[in-house]
Amino acid sequence: MDIALFDYGVGNLHSLGKALEEGGATVHVTNDWAEALSRDALVLPGVGAFSAAVEALPEDRSPLHDAMEAGLPTLGICLGMQLLFDSSEEGMGEGIGAIPGRVRRIRATIVPQMGWNVVEHTDDPIFDGIDGLTAYYANSFVCEPDDPAHAIGWSRYEDDRFACVVRNGSVWGAQFHPEKSSTLGRKMISNFLAEVGRRMAEAEGTADPGVSNPAATAETAAPSPEVTP
């Protein structure tokens, strides 16, 4: 299973890469979007500011949006979750728009939120085998999906209850850092990889054997979409 871990050029990806490898993935750290979209799944990490990360997105967002809409399993973590949305109060620029909504500043007297917080969640495959999750946060901004049904997990900081885990089809986002959230947090990463494997297995019956990414499989052979840096 080949996982693209996108590198915005800031921050340390070691702990997240290690967690993915422990889950059985082969991790490819890349800053090339065409390569990232060719893998079995995409992980957007959680380091840096929204405006700086937006600059690392391709000028034409449509190949990213289309790949995710077509079923490319994607996991956005912290900042990576925020990039899945349309825009942010933190800075200029547009996100990917895979989950309609916006990013706003957390409503609290002490910002940023640093440390551990309880996560409530619905039933979803990414939470399989997880009960009593307490997760590690380092954030000043939170996401507000336009459709409340896209929120599948919540935390409360001071008086602000916010969506901390979201999902739209094969796209998930977590505002906290599962790779730093002890055994249950890393279990979330393993569950994501299990979903990737399940979708790959489902695609084997219809996909070209030479194509490992179900999002890249089409009814007729067509060239991969070009990504403009």
pLDDT digits (tens, 9 = 90+) for 65-106: 999 999 999 999 999 999 999 999 998 899 999 999 999 999
pLDDT tens, residue by residue, 151-202: 999 999 999 999 999 999 999 999 999 999 999 999 999 999 999 999 999 8
> What token pair was written down for 62?
């449509």
* Catalytic center residues: 78, 177, 179
Nearest residue to 43 via CA among 12, 68, 80: 80
pLDDT of residue 212: 43
133: Cβ contacts below 8 Å, ≥ 6 apart = 118, 119, 121, 127, 181, 184, 185, 188
pLDDT band at 53 (very low <50, low <70, confident <90, very high): confident
149: Cβ contacts below 8 Å, ≥ 6 apart = none
pLDDT band at 226 (very low <50, low <70, confident <90, very high): low
Ranges 9-13, 27-31, 79-83, 199-203: which has the least confidence? 9-13
Nearest residue to 176 via CA among 139, 128, 126, 218: 139
How many residues can be counted in the chain? 229
* Mean local confidence (pLDDT), 54-65: 92
Q: Is residue 210's pLDDT more than 50?
A: no
Whether the link from the prior residue into 112 is cis, omega within 30° of 0, is: yes
pLDDT of residue 214: 40
Ranges 22-31, 126-135, 212-221: which has the least confidence? 212-221
Nearest residue to 131 via CA among 84, 82, 184: 184
- Topology of the domain covering 2-216: Rossmann fold (3.40.50)
